[in-house]
Amino acid sequence: VKTWSPARCRRANASRRACLIARFNFIYAKDRLDAEICLKKFICDIEMVQRIIYIAALESFRAAKKAFWKIKIGVKETLAIGYCGSPASLEIAVLNYIACHKDLYDVCCSVQEVICCMNVNPKLPCPDSIDFNVINCFIRELCSLAFSMQTLAPPLDVAFGIDGELFNRSMYYRSCDSDFTAPFVAYHVWPALMENGCVLVKGEVVTRK
C-alpha cells in the first residue's frame, strides 16, 4: 500500500473534491436538461418529468453509497493484513485505493438497481407508461459521481427533500415557475449537495400555495 504524507493526502482530497463539485454542477446544468428532453418525448407533464429526474438523482446516490460500503469492507479487510499504521491512516489508505481503482465498482449494477426502484415508486408513472432506461446514461453518470464522492474525507452527499416542507433559502433556489410568495415546497427539481450537514451547492425547488 502506498503511504502518503498527511499534507499530500489533504491536497489530493481537496483536488478531487473540487473536481467532483464541478462535475455535479455540470450534470445539473447540462445532463439534467438532456434527460428532460428524453423524457418529454414520452411525458408531456413537465412536473412529472422533473420529479422523475429528482428521484433518479436520489436513488443514484443511494445505490452508489450502498455499493461503496460493500467494496470498502472488502478493501479494508485486504489492506489490514500486515498493515502497521494507525486505524486512521488505514482508513485514508482504503479511500485512496478505491479512488485509484474505480474499476472495482460495477456501475451497471447500480444503474439497474436505480431503474428497478423507480419502476416501483408510487409517485412515478408505472413501467407500462415509460421505460426509465431512456435516461440510462444520466443515471450512470450520477452513480459514478456519487461513488467517487464517497472516497472523499468527509464524503459528499445529497439532501433528501419532502414535498410540503418549508422552503429553506439557504438550501434551495426557487424554480422560475414558482410562486415566490409561497412558503412551502410543492416538489423538488434538484437536490442540494451536502458536506457534514452543510450546504455546498444549493438545490432547486418549485414553491406553490
* pLDDT band, residue 209 (cuts 50/70/90): confident
Q: Where are the beta strands (DSSP E) in 61-167?
A: 156-158
Contact in structure between 209 and 179 (CB atoms under 8 Å): yes
* pLDDT band, residue 13 (cuts 50/70/90): confident
Q: In what order do the strands lie in the sheet with 203-207?
A: 172-174, 203-207, 185-190
All 3 cell numbers of residue 20? Answer: 467532483
What average pLDDT does this structure show over 17-29? 97
pLDDT in tens, 66-87: 999 999 999 999 988 877 777 7
pLDDT at 56 over 90: yes
Query: What is the separation, in whole angstroms, between the first and last Cα of the chain?
Result: 57
Give the pLDDT score at 3. Answer: 55
Nearest-angstrom CA–CA distance, 176 and 155 = 31
Q: Which of 33-37, 56-60, 125-129 has the lowest mean pLDDT?
A: 125-129
Does an H or E element contain 206, and which?
Answer: strand 203-207
Q: What are the domain boundaries of the chain?
A: 6-153, 159-208
Q: Which phi and psi angles does 129 have, rounded to 5°?
A: -85, -35
- Predicted model pTM: 0.91
Nearest-angstrom CA–CA distance, 112 and 132 = 10
All 3 cell numbers of residue 135? Answer: 435516461
pLDDT at 101 over 80: yes
* pLDDT band, residue 170 (cuts 50/70/90): very high
What average pLDDT does this structure show over 160-176? 95
Q: How many other β-carbons are positioned within 10 Å of the β-carbon of residue 150? A: 23
Cell 450546504 appears where? 199
Does an H or E element contain 47, and which?
Answer: helix 46-80
Portion of the chain with pLDDT greater than 70, in percent: 96
Q: Report the alpha-carbon angle 95-99-103, nearest 5.
A: 125
